[in-house]
Amino acid sequence: MATITAALVKELRESTGAGMMDCKTALAECNGEMEAAVDWLRKKGLSKAAKKAGRVAAEGLVAALIGDKAGVVVEVNSETDFVARNDDFQKLVRNIAQVALASGKSDIEALGSESYPTGGSVSEAVTTAIANIGENLTLRRVAGLSVNDGVVGRYVHTQISDGLGKIAVIVALESTGDKDVLAALARQLAMHVASANPLAMTAADLDAATVEREKNLLAEKNAGKPANVLEKIIESGLKTYYKEVLLPEQVSNHPDHAGKTVAQAIKETEGKAGAPIALKGFVRYALGEGIEKATGDFAAEVAAAVKG
């Protein structure tokens, strides 16, 4: 029996793009012979993953999963929307979210190294899925929220399976109040976030470049006015802008809190909950946001593929 060294596994992984555990298994099955191990992986379809890695993946699913006082959102991308309806892909996304929730890891590299439920690591599970499904897949991002006491609520828009869809939101509420009341409020707020798409909790949390761009727009609109007048206009304009993009200052879109801001809606609910409620944070993932999608003639690509 040949000794399977880390160097051999690394070499096979680099040449095929297959997962670490798959490479180790291939070498073990082939008595350490590199060419035979490559052929073994090719027969299993596992070496195809590397060839797909450069293709743009902007479709797929986002997931929101909540547990006791914690929640996570995860985005896993695929090349086409069809894959989102694939049971194996949905299972992959759901399992990754469960690993993220259990481990508390909100860093892609750290999450990728975590153990996957069926064996190997999360990263290796993605690589295996690429070979099996036949598209490039990418574990793009993950984020989590937790509270010492209270709840984390969720909402998934355009849901195609439990917790999986096109927009996923989690909202954290810190409170010792009635958990059922808190859970209902957290879901309402998560629905609001999905629709209103706030940018931050406070002005200090906003990206400095975003605020500067807003100031410049206000200055350009009011060019020619005296400096002291322009300063007041910009100050007033920013206050209006903050009401539009900061979650606590946005007007709630839920009928139970018509005409009230999110902050007022939370305050109003404290009586029902029987305790103060603090909005600790939110995370909103919209599938594929920020990814530049490739454009091309899909029919021509299919014709080319048929011709071989």
Q: Where are the domains of the chain?
A: 6-52, 59-202+246-286, 207-245
Backbone angles phi and psi of 106, in degrees to 5: -120, 25
* Beta partners for residue 167, in sequence order: 157, 286
CA pair distance 217, 209, nearest whole angstrom: 12
Report domain 59-202+246-286's class.
Answer: alpha beta
Q: Give residue for tokens 């400096």.
A: 227
What's the pLDDT at 13?
A: 72
CA pair distance 23, 17, nearest whole angstrom: 9
What's the pLDDT at 133?
A: 86
What's the pLDDT at 298?
A: 43
Q: Give residue for tokens 């090719």.
A: 42
Backbone angles phi and psi of 285, in degrees to 5: -115, 125
Backbone angles phi and psi of 180, in degrees to 5: -65, -40
SS3 assignment for the chain:
CCCCCHHHHHHHHHHHCCCHHHHHHHHHHCCCCHHHHHHHHHHHCHHHHHHHCCCCCCEEEEEEEEECCEEEEEEEEECCHHHHHCHHHHHHHHHHHHHHHHHCCCCHHHHHHCECCCCCEHHHHHHHHHHHHCCCCEEEEEEEEECCCEEEEEEEECCCECCEECEEEEEEEECCCCHHHHHHHHHHHHHHHHHHCCCECCHHHCCHHHHHHHHHHHHHHCCCCCHHHHHHHHHHHHHHHHHHHEHHHCECCCHHHCCCEHHHHHHHHHHHHCCCCEEEEEEEEECCCCCCCCCCCHHHHHHHHHHC
What's the pLDDT at 21?
A: 76
**Do 146 and 103 touch, CB atoms closer than 8 A?**
no
CA pair distance 49, 105, nearest whole angstrom: 25
Q: Give residue for tokens 């509270």.
A: 147
What's the pLDDT at 194?
A: 95
What's the pLDDT at 241?
A: 92
CA pair distance 267, 205, nearest whole angstrom: 22
CA pair distance 183, 153, nearest whole angstrom: 6
CA pair distance 109, 113, nearest whole angstrom: 7
What's the pLDDT at 15?
A: 66
Residues 6-52, CATH architecture:
Orthogonal Bundle (1.10)
> Which two three-digit tokens encode residue 57?
């993946």
Encode the chain (308 residues) as per-residue pLDDT tens digits.
578 888 888 787 766 666 677 788 888 888 888 888 877 776 666 655 555 555 555 799 999 999 999 999 999 999 888 899 999 999 999 999 999 999 999 899 999 999 999 999 999 999 999 888 888 899 999 999 999 999 999 999 999 999 999 999 999 999 999 999 999 999 999 999 999 999 999 999 999 998 999 989 889 888 888 888 988 999 999 999 999 999 999 999 988 888 999 999 999 999 999 999 999 999 999 998 887 665 554 445 444 443 44
